[in-house]
Amino acid sequence: MAHFLTQRLARALLVLFGVSLLVFILIDLAPGEYFQEMRLNPQISRETVAALRTQYGLDQPLPVRYGRWLRSVSRGELGFSFAYNSPVWPLLKRRIGNTLILTITSLVCSWLIAIPIGIRMADRAGRWPDRISGIGVTFLQATPDVLIALGLLALALRVRWLPTGGMHAPDFSETEGLGGVKDLVLHLVLPVLALTAGMLPVLVRHVRSAMLEVLDAPFIAAARGHGIRRYRLLLGYALPAAANPLISMFGISVGALLSASLLIEVIMSWPGVGPMLLEAILQRDPYIVVAVVLFSTLFLVAGSLLGDVFLYIADPRIRVE
Amino acid sequence: MPTDPLQTGGPQVLLRGVALSKQYRRGGWLSGRSSPVAALHTVDFTIRAGSTLALIGASGSGKSTLARCLACLEKPDSGEIWFDGKDLVSLSQRELAAFRRQIQLIFQEPAASLNPRFTAVQIVSEPLLIAGRGTKKERQERAIELMALVGLPAGLASRLPFEFSGGQRRRLAIARALALEPKLLILDEALTGLDLSTRAQISNLLLQLQEVYSLTYLCISHDLDLVTHLADDVVILREGRVVEDLAPDQSVSSQSSQADNPLAVALELSSLPG
């Protein structure tokens, strides 16, 4: 297991290195930079702009800038934000926490809902429960995430049961304890619903098809021949046997959900990395963009690594091999 | 609970199928055109206790459907399956539980019929666990005994199915089928795909087990040699219908050549397109 983990971690580090280099090159290729707008301002002289570019190292060639950025990563700063005039990590860490709260809650909800629905659909394949759920799943899949989020916001505004934006009520104080948790949960409901609704169709379809394939297997028929009860057959035999593709899907869903959450955060004013990334792209604040992309990659890699570990634990064949 | 009105032979007849029919529907619900395909059409047959009935026929003749109906994995659309004096078709799921354990099916693909995540000992003790018999230790001991009975040493107990050879997987499937002490074993192409020597070993093992445990076999096969070796009676299916029901004295063992052999001729006829 230690060898397996070391191997995967080494690969993950290599991926992160490659992605950071690629993002640097892409940002360099993109037209415009943070100080470009200053040039349009007649009150700021060309010399001042040139001095600022020199001060922040933008006049240096790409390899030098990348080397400096790597050194700042080793200091735990992840570069420097021109817009905030501050190292990136202190700006990002609180927002990453907020994004993780949203994403992990949505991930858990999506899988907890998708697994029983997918199992039920596979168990009743071709019958009415399967067909009706199939129609619902197709409808959700065909609806863009933005539309789902806007629809939920419109509904929430009409019924006024839930807060429609942010992470806490305006009068919220950090020391509220249980009240604070309740406030957070209430604010989580809408973005989590939007993210779950976006993710659910893909997961349900995967669970259904993985279960269908296994339910047809002769070893399941053999267990039925031994008189096993239906729920035990589904949960104790078929679900573990169908787990491999689902665990791989879990790894992918972690990354996919983060991408979706960036959009939902912007729409629902969730103070995560999504709005910060959008702002940084518009302002051409490159190191924040690099840091957010790296965080996104790290999340994807961590999801994939977690998937591999789950596979290793769940499937004795992988351990034997 | 109804009892078999035609149970004339006393304990001699173990299982009797009466007018068994089964249809599947082909086509999608959206197209609105689903057509029925008859897999079994009023099939009648009898299996004598302690004997081996060979069920032969071309692909798609309904052999496996019949096997699945007899193993209570599927319900026939009509007809009766009399087993030990009870009509299995009319029993409730709860009543059926006791009977289905007495009829065990050994599948066509042994590799796929063994849970890939279970070790050999878990696979063989699985039926006992499902039936709620014994403690974990007792079940494991019994599984090791059964493995030894089919020629698998205890040293292989912790291996996974993919670590076994084709012949060993068949033995494992047989050991598992014996765990619940069934009266009837259905062997669905159970020896297909094995080399000659392994096939001979397994068929000899089956004959030994039959003698020791007074087992009854329903042997589904394409293989005339195997039928010659194992079967006492032969039923030939063609497109879901019984076309021949050969008595033991008409069976293959007494025939000198393939051309004179009614079984070979009937099998050849059954494989011709309808």
| Candidates B68, B117, B127; nearest CB to A316 | B117
Measured in degrees and rounded to the nearest 5, phi and psi for residue A144 equal: -60, 145
Residues 6+ apart with CB under 8 A from B76: B20, B21, B22, B40, B69, B89
Assigned domain for A225 exists? yes
A236 is a domain residue: yes
* Per-residue pLDDT tens over the stretch A270-301: 999 888 998 888 888 888 999 998 888 888 88
ipTM, two decimals, is 0.78
Q: Is residue A52 part of a domain?
A: no
Distance from the Cα of residue A151 to its chain's centroid: 22
Nearest residue in chain A measured CA to CA from B160: A317
Mutation target for B interface from A213, A219, A228, A320: give the one with most B CBs within 10 A: A219
Give tens-digit pLDDT for A140-167: 989 998 899 999 999 988 888 888 777 7
Residue A133 included in any domain: yes
Instruction: Flag whether A32 is in a domain.
Output: no
**CA-based radius of gyration for chain A:** 24
Whether residue A35 is predicted with pLDDT greater than 90 in this model: the reply is no
A126 inside 8 A of chain B by CB: yes
Please check whether residue A33 touches B, CB under 8 A. no
Measure in Å the smallest separation between the Cα of A213 and chain B Cα atoms: 12
In a domain, A307, yes or no: no
Contacts B97 to A, Cβ<8 Å:
227
Alpha carbon distance A46, A33 (integer Å): 15
Residues 139-198 of B with CB under 8 A from A: 160, 162-163, 176, 180
A317 close to B (CB below 8 A): yes
- CA-nearest of A103, A25, A40, A68 to A289 is A25
Nearest residue, CB atoms, B113 vs list A219, A228, A237: A219
Q: Look up the CATH architecture of domain B10-102+182-270.
A: 3-Layer(aba) Sandwich (3.40)
pLDDT score, position A176? 65
Name A192's bridge partners: none
Average pLDDT, chain B: 81
Residue A176 resides in a domain: yes
**Residue extents of the structural domains in chain B:** 10-102+182-270, 119-181
C-alpha neighbours within 13 Å on the C-beta side of residue B87 = 15
Instruction: Tell me the residues of chain B between 192 and 231 that have a Cβ less than 8 Å away from chain A.
Output: none
Range of the domain at A214: 94-283
**Residue A221 belongs to a domain:** yes
pLDDT tens string B229-259: 788 888 888 888 888 766 544 554 444 444 4
H helices of chain B, where?
A: 63-70, 93-100, 110-113, 120-130, 136-149, 166-178, 196-213, 224-230, 262-270
Q: Give the global pTM.
A: 0.78
Work out how many domains chain A is built from and give that number.
1
| CATH number (domain holding residue A133) | 1.10.3720.10
Cβ burial of B17 (10 Å; 0-12, 13-18, 19+) is: buried
Mean pLDDT on B94-100: 81
